[in-house]
Structure 1
Amino acid sequence: MGVAWDMVRDHPLLGVGLNSFVQHLPGRTAYGGTEALTRTFGANWPVVHDIYLLIWAEQGTIGFACFLAMLIGLLRTSWRNAKRCADPWLHALNVGALAGLCANLLDGLGSFFLRQMPGARLFWVIAAIIVAIDIWQRRNGAERPA
């Protein structure tokens, strides 16, 4: 995590570049340069196990702000769906998607799930369900009774 913070401090606005965290590891860790990292970890060097720090280091403050805005938008949309959706099946599906989204966001504090294909697919399926329910709700206009 210290290496990620150093990258954020060194490249605060635009970051070090998408998917380039490991290319910027040599010389920033206690392990040393390229040879020492390869000797210690083999061909797969470690990345920071916090998706938020990883995105902030790679994409900078601008990219990180956009990422947070997307997550906040998904949370707000899903919460609005949970309060308004009249269809009981879609309401239940949305509540499940909201719970899954919250679990993914919490998991991001200890993993880099969006960089692993199963986690990324799951995240985007959840996001698509939330947005699809919101669009259905807006087009059909049926409000949940108070």
Structure 2
Amino acid sequence: MHGSYRRQLTHTFIEHWLSLQPYAKVRNRDIGQQPPAHVNHRWSETALGPEPDSDWASNALTQSDEPIDELLWAEFLVLGVPMYSFGIPSSLKAWIDQTVRLGGLPPDGNPVSLQRPTGSADAATSGRPRPCSTHRG
């Protein structure tokens, strides 16, 4: 756990969640230890263009497919994120950038929103990812 307060808090939250939901499945992705590639001009042209036209382009989108598949698999997201100068780390920004592209989220073309609409919390989040946020500092 590397002694980080954020990592300890995230680990405690997941352990508590699993104690309440013993059949829940958890996937961990530590983007601080294994950051995704940052998007660049070539990636943008590939992701926003009509079709990949090279091995590089195909590989770039394949790397992007993995976090997209994880998001579609997830019912909940638990993000333990440090803040640097009141902003998110560049590795989290890269992860977000990798998942927002044509043909990415979601495959049926319906938008997925992590913002809770007005109305009943149960009705608003039924079948959708549910936001949970904590911060310190």
Identify the structure with the greater helix proportion: 1
Normalising by structure 2, we get a TM-score of 0.26
Normalising by structure 1, we get a TM-score of 0.25
Structure of higher CA gyration radius: 1
